[in-house]
Amino acid sequence: MGMTMTQKILAAHAGVPAVEAGALIEARVDLVLGNDVTAPVAIKEFAKIGCEAVFDASRIALVPDHFAPNKDIGAAEQCKVMREFAHRMGIENYFELGEMGIEHALIPELGLVLPGELVIGADSHTCTYGAVGAFSTGVGSTDMAAGMATGTAWFKVPEAIAVELTGKFSGWASGKDLILHLIGLIGVDGALYRSLEFSGEGIASLSMADRFTIANMAIEAGAKNGIFPVDGTTRAWAASVSKKAYVEHRADADARFERRLSIDLGSIAPTVSFPHLPSNTRRASEAGHVPLDQVVIGSCTNGRIEDLRVAASILTGNRVAKGLRCIVIPATKAIYLAALREGLIEGFIEAGAIVSTPTCGPCLGGHMGVLAKGERAMATTNRNFVGRMGHPESEVYLASPATAAASALAGRIVDPSTFSVGPGRA
Amino acid sequence: MEARGKAFRYGDNVDTDVIIPARYLTTGDPEKLAAHCMEDIDASFVTKVAKGDLIVAGSNFGCGSSREHAPIAIKATGVSCVIAASFARIFYRNAINIGLPILECAEAAAAGHGDELSIDFETGEIRNHSSGATYHALPSPPFIMEIVKAGGLIPYARAKAKVRAQGAAGKD
d(CA A123, CA A66): 10
Cβ neighbours of B69 in A, within 8 Å: 37, 41
A147-160: buried (b, 16+ CB within 10 Å) or exposed (e) per residue?
A: bbbbbbbbbbbbbb
Whether the CB-CB separation of A401 and A307 falls below 8 Å is answered with: yes
pLDDT higher than 70, residue B151: no
Which residues, in sequence order, are CB contacts of A237 under 8 Å at separation 6+?
A132, A208
Whether the CB-CB separation of B4 and B117 falls below 8 Å is answered with: yes
Mean pLDDT of chain B: 89
- At B167 the pLDDT is 66
Assess B28–A contact: CB distance below 8 Å, yes or no.
yes
- At B172 the pLDDT is 43
pLDDT higher than 90, residue A197: yes
Whether the CB-CB separation of A166 and A204 falls below 8 Å is answered with: no
**Confidence class for position B138, pLDDT limits 50, 70, 90:** confident
Q: What is the DSSP string of A205-258?
A: G--HHHHHHHHHGGGGGT-SEEE----HHHHHHHHHH-----------TTB--S
- At A17 the pLDDT is 96
Mean pLDDT of chain A: 97
Cβ neighbours of B38 in A, within 8 Å: none
Chain B's closest residue to A393, CA to CA, is B40
- A88-122: pLDDT as tens digits: 999 999 999 999 999 999 999 999 999 999 999 99
Cβ neighbours of A141 in B, within 8 Å: 68, 94
d(CA A4, CA A150): 27
The mean per-residue pLDDT over the stretch A171-182 comes to: 98
Interface of A with B in 226-245 (CB under 8 A): none
The mean per-residue pLDDT over the stretch A370-374 comes to: 98
pLDDT higher than 90, residue B86: yes
Q: Note the Cα B61 to chain centre separation in Å.
A: 10
pTM above the 0.80 mark? Answer: yes
Interface of B with A in 60-119 (CB under 8 A): 60, 63-69, 71-72, 86, 88-90, 93-94, 97-98
Cβ neighbours of B40 in A, within 8 Å: 386-387, 392
Identify any residues that bridge with A24 across adjacent strands, giving them in sequence order. Answer: A156
d(CA B43, CA A120): 34
Q: Is B49 helix (H, G, I), strand (E, B) or coil?
A: coil
Catalogue all structural domains in chain A, each as residue range(s) with its CATH number.
5-264 (3.30.499.10), 270-418 (3.30.499.10)
Nearest residue to A307 via CA among A127, A177, A112: A177
Identify any residues that bridge with A260 across adjacent strands, giving them in sequence order. Answer: A162
B22-57: buried (b, 16+ CB within 10 Å) or exposed (e) per residue?
A: bbbbbbbebeebbebbbbbbbeebeeebeebbbbbb
Q: Which residue in B18, B19, B26, B75 has the most chain A C-beta atoms within 10 A of its own C-beta, making it the best mutation to test that interface? A: B26
Q: Note the Cα B104 to chain centre separation in Å.
A: 11
The mean per-residue pLDDT over the stretch B15-42 comes to: 96
pLDDT higher than 90, residue B168: no
pLDDT higher than 80, residue A29: yes
Whether the CB-CB separation of A1 and A254 falls below 8 Å is answered with: yes
Assess B152–A contact: CB distance below 8 Å, yes or no.
yes
A301-331: buried (b, 16+ CB within 10 Å) or exposed (e) per residue?
A: bbbbbbbbbbbbbbbeebebbeebbbbbbbb
- At A317 the pLDDT is 97
- Enter the DSSP assignment of A98: T
d(CA A14, CA B28): 32
- A301-318: pLDDT as tens digits: 999 999 999 999 999 999
Q: Where are the alpha helices (DSSP H) in A243-332?
A: 299-302, 305-315
- At B171 the pLDDT is 44
Nearest residue to A326 via CA among A398, A389, A243, A409: A409
- A317-331: pLDDT as tens digits: 999 999 999 999 999
The mean per-residue pLDDT over the stretch A209-236 comes to: 98
CB contact under 8 A, B156 and A146: yes
Question: How are strands ordered across the β-sheet holding A225-227?
Answer: A225-227, A195-199, A160-166, A259-264
Identify any residues that bridge with A398 across adjacent strands, giving them in sequence order. Answer: A273, A379
> Which member of B13, B15, B97 has the closest CB to residue A143?
B97
CA atoms within 13 A on the CB side of B150: 18
> Which member of B23, B65, B154 has the closest CB to residue A45?
B154
Whether the CB-CB separation of A82 and A34 falls below 8 Å is answered with: yes
Question: How are strands ordered across the β-sheet holding A93-94?
Answer: A93-94, A60-63, A31-35, A118-121, A135-138
The mean per-residue pLDDT over the stretch B111-124 comes to: 91
**Confidence class for position A195, pLDDT limits 50, 70, 90:** very high
